[in-house]
Every structure is written in C-alpha cells, then in structure tokens.
Amino acid sequence: MNDQNTLAAEETISPGRVRLRHKASFPTRMRRYRDIVREFAVADFRLRYHDSLLGYVWFLLSPAMMFGVYYFVFTEVIYMGVPNYALYLILGIISYNFFQDCTFSSMLSLSAKAPIIKKIYFPRYLIVIAASVTGTFSLLVNLGIILLVVLVTRGIPPLFFLVPIPLVCLFLFATGVGFLLAALYVRFRDLSQIWNVVVLAIFWLTPVVYDVSSLPESTQIVVFLNPLARIFMLFRHYLLYDFFDLRFLLITIVSSFVVFIIGFFVFRKYQDRFAEHL
Amino acid sequence: MPNIYRPHVIQLENVTKVFAIPHERKKTLFHWLTSMMGRHYDYEPLYALQGINLHVKEGEFLGIIGKNGSGKSTLLKVISNIYPPTEGSVLVNGDVFPMLDLGVGFQPEFSVKENIYLYGIMLGFTRKELNDRLRSIIEYSELERFADAKLGTLSMGMMLRLGFSIAIQSDASIFLVDEVLAVGDKDFWQRCEEQFKKFRAHGKTVIFVSHDLYQVQRFCDRVVVLTDGRIANEGAPEKMVEFYTNSSR
C-alpha cells in the first residue's frame, strides 16, 4: 500500500481483494438475483425445446420410452416381484432423469454462458441454480402426470402431502453435485466424458429399476449411504406404499443439504476465477 | 460542489493483475494428470496490470487511453469485479454499470421485447423496473415497429441501439464505457454524446476507454495513459493526448 492511502484503517483489506459497496439494498439485490434465475431458466427451457409443441412433447417421450424398455425387461424377461412395479419404475426413471439432466446442464452451463461471464458481473452460482430450475420444470410436469395416475388408480395416498420434501431434497442434491461439476468443468473439459460413465454407475447403484430389499444385506448398506437412493425411496414410500420413517426422512434431508452446502461453498470459492479460465 | 471536496468512489491501491499463460494449454483432466507425472505445470506470467494506483472522484469523467494490450479493458474488468486482482485492493463505493459490450447474451431466437427483459435483468434491473421502462427503451431505440419481431432479423446497428437504450436506463452511479461504443455510426455517436451530457448533469461517475482521442479530449476531466499495464502519465486531457501521440510515435 502506498503512503497516500486514503482508506480508513478498518477498511484496509487484504491484497487481491475487491470490495463493492452496493447502493442497492439487500432485498433489492435478492429480487434481482431471483429475476436472473427465472429469466435464465425460462430462456434455457425455451431454447432447448425450440418453443415448439413437438419440442415439449419430447421431454415427456424420452422417459416414457425408457420406461417401456425397462418395463418389458423387468416384467417379461426378469421378474422383479415389486408390488405396483409400473409406478415404482416410472417414479425412479423420472427422478433419475432429472438428476442426470440437471447435473449435465449445470456442468455445461458456465461454458455456455462464457461470453456473458466475461462481460457482466453477477454471482455466478445463479447460472447453476438456473440450470437446475430448468430441469425442475420437466420434472414437475412428469411428476404431475404420475400423480394423476396415482390418484386415479389408488385414490389420494395418505402421505401425499409429504411429496414436496423428497422433491426439495432431490433439487438440493442435484444442484450441489451440479455446483461441484460446474466448477471442475471450467478447468477439466473431459469431465463430461467421465461423468457419462459415473452417471451410468449411479443408475445401477440406485434403486431405479430394482428394489433394495432384493439385494443381499451387505450391499443394501451401500445403497443406503447414497442420498439419491434415499430420495427415490421416499417418493415411493409416500406415493405407493404409505410408509413413514422419521429417522430415514431426517437423514435424507440432512445429507441432501450437506451436499448442497458443500457444492455451493466450493463453487463460491472458485467463482471469481471463472472469467479468466473460460 | 468543487471537485476537491468530492468523495472518492473508486480507489485502486497498488493493483496488479497477472494472467497465467500456459505454454501448453491444459483443458482436460487427462492432460493435467499426464503433466503431473511428467514435466511441471508450465506457464508464463503475463502482467496485464502492474501497481496501479487510481482514485476516481464522484462525478468525474476519467478517460483511459493506451495502445492495444496496454491493460485498458483489464482495468475496467477489475473495477467491475469480473476479474479479481492478483495483488492490491479495489474499493468501489456505489453500483457499477459496465458497458463493456452492448448486447452480449442477446438471443436472436427471441423477440425484441423478450430480449429487453433478458438483457436488462442480466444487467441488474428487476422485472418490475423493466416493466416501467419498457416503453421508453423501445422508443429511445426507435424500434417500435419491431418490438415483437425476432431479434435475429435486426441489423447490427439496431441491436447496438437496443443494447445502449437498455443500458442507459440504469440507476447506477458509476459507468464504465469501453471502446466498443465506437462501432456505432455518426447518428449513434450523437446519442452517446447526449447521454454523456446527461451523465454529467446527474453527477454520474464515468470511466471512458477510447481510441478516439478527440472524444476523450471533449468529454474527460482527467486522462490516464496506460503503457504495458502501468500508468505512464496522468493529467489534463490535452496534455495527455499530446503525451500519448508523442510517445507512440
């Protein structure tokens, strides 16, 4: 620091730091951030489906086709013996699809917005959150259709009102993982290939097509350590089996939160450097 | 208020910005792993800014001139928090509005109106603020007839005008203007001039980067000459323009 430093003593800040004193109040900034997330999420959703009806139909069609394949295999070829298997399977598939879609679009979101990142400042984590919100639109539509089917076939399940909890957990977990991937992808562009394989492993390590009770005891523990598996099971507990376990629920909520928080802080630590590395 | 009593709104103390320019660009984990096993991570430091001390007062029009690659744009990006400084401190008191590239992030697929919201919100407006300003933005950009047309059908000049019309709606107190504005035609420059006069009337602080020495002399109160990331000289516009023309000869 030079001698004509006019900063007051308490304002002297460590080297390499920027301090912005915003004129806008905290609530105003929060409103701006909310608007940025909404604008990005809606724009990405529209761009992805080209604003066309056929485009919107596609995101319904791809889980439906996946469902068709697995349903055929696991009822006609290998019998799973899971009660209510069709709904069990489709719930697993749409939740898994959301996770896959969300992590991939979060990972690629920063490089897709590179020109903006290099020219305009706003907190970069908004981009990743927006990517997750875009994925949530499709999840909500898909889930809505399944809820209708559940209502028609089973009536209103008694634990119906708890469904938003696993939904929020799923969002937090996928966004947390998305934060980590997005931050890493800026430096390592082959991460998308690696993640392709990991996501496939996650598919089989998570009870999407099978039921946990069909596994040997020792393997079950591995599945229970996986927050994603817990979230999928919660959906099924509440919608299909009317089963409630408080301890199971709390562990799931806490683990999803922890993943989100870790992802967020790791991302925030590196977000200042993204403009240079993109 | 006389100039000397005005508070500083931007204070840069000993700011240095170093970019690591890798000899071999490692963009993948695979590259990184192989280089870990073999040679060391190999890069060359590029000093984009070196020991910059700069204080800007409220309501001041500061011009920055210098050759290509002298660090002008990096300086604006450090002030607008896009790049963190490697060393030194930056203090900015007030909301900064960087006009570094007008219309970055425009979506040609969307209509003009939709782009006003998309771009405006990125720049820091809320949706509500844009609702109130939509009419004046469209009027000022003279795009009434095209409000619902796809942005992609507009000419470059029209897009520039649109970006500018959105940007000037900002309530920010500090504006950073990069030379990109120079791509506009004569008509566009007239608008910029009008706007600069308004900025001055409203007591806004402006940092203006340009290669157009005539414009710099006309608008700025003070000019900084950058050479290889250092402040080579600073002072009254006429003297600095003279200094710059002589030194670059």
In chain B, residues with a C-beta closer than 8 Å to the C-beta of A272 are 83-84
Confidence of residue A196 (pLDDT cuts 50, 70, 90): very high
Nearest to B32 among A21, A51, A188 (CB): A188
Yes or no, beta carbons of A1 and B28 under 8 Å apart: no
Phi-psi region of B61 (alpha: psi -120 to 50; beta: other; left: phi over 0): beta
Task: Give the gap in angstroms from C-alpha B142 to the nearest C-alpha of chain A.
Answer: 25
Within 10 A of A10 (CB to CB), how many other CB atoms are there?
Answer: 6
CA distance A258 to A223: 18
ipTM: 0.85
Yes or no, beta carbons of A275 and B83 under 8 Å apart: yes
Confidence of residue A25 (pLDDT cuts 50, 70, 90): confident
| pLDDT of amino acid A4 | 35
The per-residue pLDDT for range A101-122, each reduced to its tens digit, is 999 999 999 999 999 999 888 9
Whether residue B78 lies within 8 A of chain A, CB to CB, comes out as yes
Is A106 among the domain residues?
yes
H or E stretch at B99: strand B96-99
Is A11 among the domain residues?
no
Is A41 among the domain residues?
yes
State yes or no: pLDDT of B182 exceeds 80.
no
Which residues, including other chains, have CB under 8 Å from residue B48's CB and lie 6 or more apart?
A: B17, B18, B19, B71, B74, B229
Is A207 among the domain residues?
yes
Is A46 among the domain residues?
yes
In chain A, residues with a C-beta closer than 8 Å to the C-beta of B29 are 188, 190-191, 194
B179 or A176, higher pLDDT: A176
| A74: containing domain | 26-277
B49 or B1, higher pLDDT: B49
Yes or no, beta carbons of B98 and A12 under 8 Å apart: no
The per-residue pLDDT for range B140-169, each reduced to its tens digit, is 888 989 989 999 999 888 888 899 899 888
Is A160 among the domain residues?
yes
Confidence of residue B210 (pLDDT cuts 50, 70, 90): confident
Nearest to A118 among B53, B82, B125 (CB): B82
| pLDDT of amino acid B42 | 65
Q: What is the mean pLDDT of chain A?
A: 87
Number of domains in chain A: 1
Yes or no, beta carbons of A19 and B104 under 8 Å apart: no
Is A4 among the domain residues?
no
CA distance B98 to B75: 12
* Burial A50-77, CB ≥16 within 10 A → b, else e: eeeeeebeebeeebeebbeebbeebeee
| pLDDT of amino acid A248 | 93
Which residues, including other chains, have CB under 8 Å from residue A65's CB and lie 6 or more apart?
A: none
- The residue in chain B having the minimum alpha-carbon distance to the alpha carbon of residue A190 is B28
Yes or no, beta carbons of B125 and A32 under 8 Å apart: yes
Whether residue B205 lies within 8 A of chain A, CB to CB, comes out as no
Whether residue B55 lies within 8 A of chain A, CB to CB, comes out as yes
In chain A, residues with a C-beta closer than 8 Å to the C-beta of B30 are 190
B32 or B84, higher pLDDT: B84
Q: Are B137 and B118 within 8 A, CB to CB?
A: no
From residue B112, alpha-carbon distances to A244, B154, B159, B170 in Å are: 51, 9, 9, 19
- The residue in chain A having the minimum alpha-carbon distance to the alpha carbon of residue B30 is A190
Whether residue B189 lies within 8 A of chain A, CB to CB, comes out as no
CA distance B96 to B79: 8
pTM of the model: 0.88
Is A21 among the domain residues?
no
